[in-house]
Amino acid sequence: MPQPLRYAVFGHPIGHTKSPRIHQLFGDQFGIALTYEAIDAAPEAFADAVRRFFAEGGRGANVTLPHKGAAFALADERSEAAVRAGSANVLTRLADGRLAAHNTDGAGLVRDLAERHHVDLRGRDMLLLGAGGAARGVAWSLLDAGVASLTIVNRTPATADALADAIGEPARVRTRYWQDLAGIGSFDLVVNATSAGVLQQSLGLPPALVGARAVCCDLAYGAAAAPFLAWAQAAGASRAFDGLGMLVETAADAFELWHARRPATEPVYQALRPPA
């Protein structure tokens, strides 16, 4: 009997991840035998941990906070989406042993919002909280989906400015200081791409950011997204979502890269979604 194909997700922390179950459920759809493990690697140990995983037979890996930039730098080849974002959430071992990087974050988020939740992204004024690897992974795709304007706010202003410069659309994209959040107006799409929820830190967001028809979304999911979703609902958002649907969609993109088969995502999303 052939050995199961080996996959993993790297992050720090990583105990909360649902990726192993998602990929097992995807594999079950096609009768593919695979193993998928969660590997906690501190930033200074990430590169060695990834190299060891692939040297020991790993076929592919997902990458989450805080390693997406490091995954991009580690790769030998990079997809257009990864190059545009400057970060990667998927690493794949090529036939010659080199590593290829891809970024499925933006496509996964747009598909979750537009197709699963039926959110029309066109013409929305968007606030993006954070400017790290997660934010870079989704910014371009949201603009491509028709977002009218994008305001980027990050606790380190230089990082927000660097993302805005990389996007290169000054008519649509601007940056603001975190301390000025109370006075920058309201938005009808607010996306939290910070790691605050995962790290159990408070964002201290003013309710005035939420416009009358605002949709709010946290790229984290489960308990990590709960404080942001509670804030959004209290501030009057029309709808608020966590990142579980995005996670399932991005995982499906990775699965298709690795297995050349597209899994059905809705049954997996429903299996993971806690009862209301």
CA gap 228, 91 in Å, rounded: 30
Give the phi and the psi of residue 149 in degrees, each rounded to 5. Answer: -145, 150
Residues in the chain: 276
> CB within 8 A of 265, min separation 6: which ones?
248, 249, 252
11 close to 64: Cβ distance less than 8 angstroms: yes
For residues 274 and 276, give the distance between their C-alpha atoms in angstroms, rounded to a whole number.
Answer: 6
List of long-range contacts for 52-57, beta carbons under 8 Å, 24+ apart: 53/8, 53/10, 54/91, 54/93, 54/97, 54/99, 56/6, 57/6
DSSP for residue 177: E
Among this protein's residues, is 18 annotated catalytic? no
* Amino acid residing at 178: W
Pairing of strands 90-93, 239-241: unpaired
Three-state SS annotation for 5-36: EEEEEEECCCCCCCHHHHHHHHHHHHCCCEEE
Catalytic residue among 67, 68, 93, 259: 68
275-to-8, 220, 271 alpha-carbon distances in Å: 27, 18, 10
Instruction: Give the residue numbers marked as catalytic.
Output: 68
